[in-house]
């Protein structure tokens, strides 16, 4: 199902077209924005000007044609502050219905605040967080506080940037006296409400709207980030907002037009916007503000879905917005769920058993898990070079709840699950800090080995144990079927993992059927060595153990000719899968490379993968 959502705002008119999926999530397939200044000269009960309404009708006509080109099932349109206050607002709405064929409704400031809060929480917030959301529009500013989608308090104030600019910005650059008047007006209008929220407390402050994003872009540019840098989930320290406020207030319009990152069409409104945002953040006592590019239009979509289904099934399955967006991307790309989840389980098992070596935290463990789930999504485009396609899809997959640096790390880890290992010359990797490069190398080495341990896509490995034997490491692979292909693949791809541990790795397989699995037990490298003192030399110490849910035992099948020296293998679910047609979104056919090994007379149970 496809739906278009239109926000007829005081400053700009926005539209997004989304595809609502069977799981009740949605993806944006088109978006448009036009700055028409509908409220210019028409606020506080005055009439909307003929020029503004004519421009708005032209834009809406274009938007309707665009929506029809996407064959949408419904168009949702709302009007906010400018139309709500104008004496000819009703006449304007009738003109839209008669001339354009769209029937917009006027929403109250409180309803506007609620919808914006829903969108911001959907895009940024973590489960359990109490958040405050600020949206600065042309005619009003909305401030809400709540947990999840529940809004505890939410209000709309007549403090939009067009309104404040028309009333208080009388000089260019802004005179100090006018700035003080503007500040007093903000304090008188919203000060007590902000104090109430500050006393109640909150975990995160989120800012939406073009005004806030534009100011965030100025901060990003001042920090040396290139134009077009992703702003969603980027945290902006409050002290940087104060600097931007002082800088913009000291410049005239011509100088502001040359400020890096500032959208030229907002240059005349930027001074009032910067002062307003800085005053709100300061009054709340927030140390920083997280940027979010989801706002009223996305809130309309979420509300539409909620009204047609009481709950969004996908959100029920994955309450965490980060995990939910990872699985949404995986499902959009027709991923192989059994293989992806098996690789994720093996990856985190190896991560846990090497904690004493790499010293990474649960945050990086989560990145590894998500990279494991998404590592093969590039096959949606083509099997050839699919690791690079995975990097592109993850970076541009609209993952919600992640900071840009986290998305980059996850994409790079997935990119290095096969083929080349990380190099400074590679796109994205070379721009990372030294510490971030080390993290990506570590996680990629673990993922590469874990992926090789499900080379057949048959989930025959149900547990791994890593033992420290002093001069080398022993990786014991517990299998519920024929794991020869997994051992062969692991031998080929163990080198990065050996560099991580600083030792050669020997790999052994133990075949067990119908074993009762136990919860994982973690042990540090030092603990493993201490344990070894009480054991015989024939019983090596282990760093830890994680048992995995076993897959079905694969049925033996004949093998086909393939690469020389490759061991026989059982037919996997991947082999039996007919290459599928891609979704209409891509209009491509994916090519899945199915590699079969030759049957050999003898294959050893134990592979020595010491580096020669």
- 8 A C-beta contact, residue 488 and residue 533: no
Task: Specify the pLDDT at position 407.
Answer: 93
Give me the architecture of the 321-608 domain, per CATH.
Answer: Orthogonal Bundle (1.10)
CATH superfamily membership of 2-107 = ATPase, nucleotide binding domain (3.30.420.40)
State pTM to two decimals. Answer: 0.64
CA dist 302 and 312 (Å) reads 9
**Cβ partners under 8 Å of residue 469, min gap 6:** 540, 541
Q: Give, to the nearest 10 degrees, the angle between helix 321-332 and helix 109-123.
A: 70
CA 48/CA 42 separation, integer angstroms: 5
Q: Is 329 helix (H, G, I), strand (E, B) or coil?
A: helix
pLDDT in tens, 326-347: 998 999 899 999 999 999 999 9
Tens-digit pLDDT profile for residues 65-96? 999 999 887 899 999 988 998 889 999 999 99
Residue 513: closest CA among 469, 535, 482 = 482
3-state helix, strand, coil in the chain (%, to 5): 45, 15, 40
3-state SS string for 363-423: HHHHHHHHHHHHCCHHHHCCCCCHHHHHHHHHHCCCCCCCCHHHHHHHHHHHHCCCCCCCC
pLDDT of residue 91: 94
The SS3 of residue 319 is coil
Which pLDDT score is estimated for 527?
36
The token pair at 516 is: 């009762």
Q: Please answer whether residues 52 and 38 qualify as being in contact, where contact means their C-beta atoms are separated by less than 8 angstroms.
A: yes
Residue 541's pLDDT is what? 41
Question: Which tokens go with 27?
Answer: 């993806």
539 has a pLDDT exceeding 50: no
pLDDT above 90 as % of the chain: 59
**Residue ranges of the chain that CATH labels 3.30.420.150:** 125-293
- For residue 241, give every residue at least 6 positions away whose Cβ sits within 8 Å of its Cβ, in sequence order, or none: 215, 219, 274, 277, 278, 281, 289
The CATH topology of domain 125-293 is Nucleotidyltransferase; domain 5 (3.30.420)
Domain with CATH 3.30.420.40 in the chain: 2-107
Domain limits, CATH 1.10.3210.10, in the chain: 321-608
* pLDDT band, very low/low/confident/very high, at 557 (cuts 50, 70, 90): very low
Q: How far apart are CA 343 and CA 411, in angstroms?
A: 16
């Amino acid at each position: 199902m496809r739906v278009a959502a239109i926000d007829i705002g005081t400053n700009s008119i926005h539209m997004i077209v989304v595809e609502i999926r069977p799981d009740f999530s949605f993806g944006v397939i088109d978006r448009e924005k036009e700055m028409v200044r509908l409220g210019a000269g028409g606020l506080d009960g005055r009439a909307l000007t003929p020029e503004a309404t004519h421009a708005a009708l032209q834009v809406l006509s274009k938007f309707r044609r665009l929506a029809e080109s996407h064959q949408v099932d419904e168009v949702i349109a709302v009007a906010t502050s400018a139309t709500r206050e104008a004496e000819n607002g009703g006449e304007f709405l009738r003109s839209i219905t008669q001339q354009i064929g769209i029937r917009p409704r006027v929403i109250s400031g409180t309803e506007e605040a609620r919808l914006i809060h829903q969108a911001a929480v959907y895009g940024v917030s973590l489960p359990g967080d109490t958040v405050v959301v600020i949206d600065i529009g042309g005619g009003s500013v909305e401030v809400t506080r709540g947990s999840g989608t529940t809004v505890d308090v939410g209000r709309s104030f007549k403090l939009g940037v067009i309104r404040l600019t028309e009333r208080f910005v009388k000089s260019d650059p802004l005179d100090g006296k006018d700035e003080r008047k503007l500040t007093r007006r903000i304090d008188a209008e919203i000060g007590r409400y902000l104090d109430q929220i500050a006393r109640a407390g909150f975990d995160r402050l989120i800012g939406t709207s073009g005004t806030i994003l534009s100011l965030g872009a100025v901060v990003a540019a001042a920090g040396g980030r290139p134009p077009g840098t992703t702003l969603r989930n980027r945290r902006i320290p409050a002290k940087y907002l104060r600097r931007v406020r002082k800088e913009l207030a000291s410049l005239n319009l011509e100088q502001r037009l040359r400020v890096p990152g500032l959208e030229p069409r907002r240059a005349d409104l930027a001074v009032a916007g910067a002062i307003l945002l800085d005053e709100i953040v300061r009054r709340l006592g927030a140390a920083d503000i997280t940027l979010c590019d989801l706002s009223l239009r996305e809130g309309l979509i979420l509300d539409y879905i909620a009204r047609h289904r009481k709950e969004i099934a996908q959100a029920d399955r994955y309450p965490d917005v980060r995990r939910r967006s990872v699985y949404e991307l995986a499902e959009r790309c027709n991923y192989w769920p059994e293989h992806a989840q098996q690789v994720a389980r093996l990856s985190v098992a190896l991560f846990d058993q090497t904690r004493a070596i790499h010293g990474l935290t649960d945050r990086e463990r989560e990145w590894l898990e998500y990279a494991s789930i998404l590592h093969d999504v590039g096959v949606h485009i083509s099997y050839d070079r699919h690791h690079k396609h995975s990097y592109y899809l993850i970076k541009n997959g609209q993952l919600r709840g992640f900071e840009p640096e986290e998305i980059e790390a996850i994409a790079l880890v997935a990119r290095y699950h096969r083929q080349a290992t990380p190099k400074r010359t590679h796109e994205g990797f070379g721009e990372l800090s030294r510490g971030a490069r080390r993290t990506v190398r570590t996680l990629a080495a673990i993922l590469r080995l874990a992926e090789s341990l499900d080379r057949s896509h048959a989930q025959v490995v149900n547990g791994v144990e890593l033992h420290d034997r002093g001069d080398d490491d022993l990786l014991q692979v517990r299998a519920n079927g024929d794991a020869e292909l997994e051992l062969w693949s692991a031998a080929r791809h163990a080198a990065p993992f050996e560099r991580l541990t600083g030792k050669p790795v020997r790999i052994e397989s133990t075949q067990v059927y119908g074993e009762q699995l136990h919860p994982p037990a973690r042990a540090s490298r030092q603990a493993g060595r201490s344990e070894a003192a009480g054991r015989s030399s024939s019983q090596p110490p282990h760093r830890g153990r994680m048992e995995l849910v076993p897959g079905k035992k694969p049925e033996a099948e004949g093998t086909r000719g393939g690469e020389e020296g490759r061991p026989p293998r059982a037919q996997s679910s991947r082999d039996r899968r007919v290459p599928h047609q891609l979704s209409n979104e891509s209009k491509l056919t994916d090519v899945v490379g199915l590699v079969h090994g030759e049957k050999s007379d003898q294959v050893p149970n134990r592979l020595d993968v010491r580096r020669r």
